Amino acid sequence: MKLSTRAATTEPFHALAFGQQAAALEAQGHHVVRLSIGEPDVGAPPDVLAAMRDVMDGRPLPYTPALGLPQLRAAIAADYRARHGVEVDPARVAVTSGASAALLLVLAATVDPGDDVLLADPSYPCNRQLVSTFGGRALTLPTGPDQRYQLSVGALRDAWTDRTSAVMVASPSNPTGTSVPAAELAAICAEAARRDAWRIVDEIYLDLADPAPDGTAARTVLTADPDAVVVGSFSKFFGMTGWRLGWAVLPAELVAPVERLAQNYFIAASTPVQHAALACFTPASLALCEERRVEFTRRRRLVLDGLADLGLPVPVEPDGAFYVYVDVSGTGLDAWEFCARALAGHHVALTPGRDFSDATAATHVRLSYAASAAELTEGLRRIGALLAEVGAGSP
Ligand SMILES: Cc1ncc(COP(=O)(O)O)c(C=O)c1O
Residue 237 Cβ contacting ligand 1 at under 6 Å: no
Predicted pLDDT of residue 143: 96
Q: At what angle do helices 335-346 and 15-27 cross, to 10 degrees?
A: 10
Taking the C-alpha atoms of residue 145 and residue 142, their distance in angstroms, rounded to an integer, is 11
Mean pLDDT for the chain? Answer: 96
Residue 240 Cβ contacting ligand 1 at under 6 Å: no
Ligand 1 centre to CA of 126 (Å) is 9
Predicted pLDDT of residue 32: 97
Residue 99 Cβ contacting ligand 1 at under 6 Å: yes
Task: Quote the radius of gyration of the chain (alpha carbons, Å).
Answer: 21
Ligand 1 centre to CA of 247 (Å) is 11
Going along the chain from its start, the domains and CATH numbers come out as: 5-43+285-390 (3.90.1150.10), 47-281 (3.40.640.10)
Predicted pLDDT of residue 369: 97
Residue 246 Cβ contacting ligand 1 at under 6 Å: yes
Ligand 1 centre to CA of 389 (Å) is 35
Predicted pLDDT of residue 395: 55
How confident is the model over 226-268, as pLDDT tens digits?
999 999 999 999 999 999 999 999 999 999 999 999 999 999 9
Taking the C-alpha atoms of residue 258 and residue 265, their distance in angstroms, rounded to an integer, is 10
Question: Looking at residues 182-191, what average pLDDT do you find?
Answer: 97
Question: Looking at residues 20-29, what average pLDDT do you find?
Answer: 95
Predicted pLDDT of residue 393: 72
Question: Looking at residues 127-153, what average pLDDT do you find?
Answer: 96
Ligand 1 centre to CA of 124 (Å) is 8
Ligand 1 centre to CA of 159 (Å) is 26
Residue 197 has pLDDT above 90, yes or no: yes
- For the entire predicted model, the pTM comes to 0.97
> What is the b/e burial string over 184-216, where b = at least 16 CB atoms within 10 angstroms of the residue's CB?
bbbbbbebbeeeebbbbbbbbbbbbbbeeeeee
Among 17-26, 149-158, 247-256, the minimum mean pLDDT is found in: 17-26
Question: Looking at residues 83-96, what average pLDDT do you find?
Answer: 97
Residue 368 Cβ contacting ligand 1 at under 6 Å: no
Residue 124 Cβ contacting ligand 1 at under 6 Å: yes
How confident is the model over 293-340, as pLDDT tens digits?
999 999 999 999 999 999 999 999 999 999 999 999 999 999 999 999
Taking the C-alpha atoms of residue 126 and residue 291, their distance in angstroms, rounded to an integer, is 30
Mutate to test the pocket of ligand 1, among 229, 233, 351 (most ligand atoms within 8 A of CB): 233
Residue 179 Cβ contacting ligand 1 at under 6 Å: no
Question: Looking at residues 209-232, what average pLDDT do you find?
Answer: 95
Decide if 272 contacts 56 (C-beta within 8 A).
yes
pLDDT over 90 for what percent of the chain? Answer: 92
Among 6-20, 173-187, 229-243, the minimum mean pLDDT is found in: 6-20
Question: Looking at residues 147-165, what average pLDDT do you find?
Answer: 97
Q: What are phi and psi of 163, to 5 degrees?
A: -105, 5
Residue 239 Cβ contacting ligand 1 at under 6 Å: no
Question: Looking at residues 63-71, what average pLDDT do you find?
Answer: 98
Mutate to test the pocket of ligand 1, among 95, 107, 123, 124 (most ligand atoms within 8 A of CB): 124
Among residues 268, 116, 125, the alpha carbon closest in space to that of 197 is found at 116
Residue 235 Cβ contacting ligand 1 at under 6 Å: yes
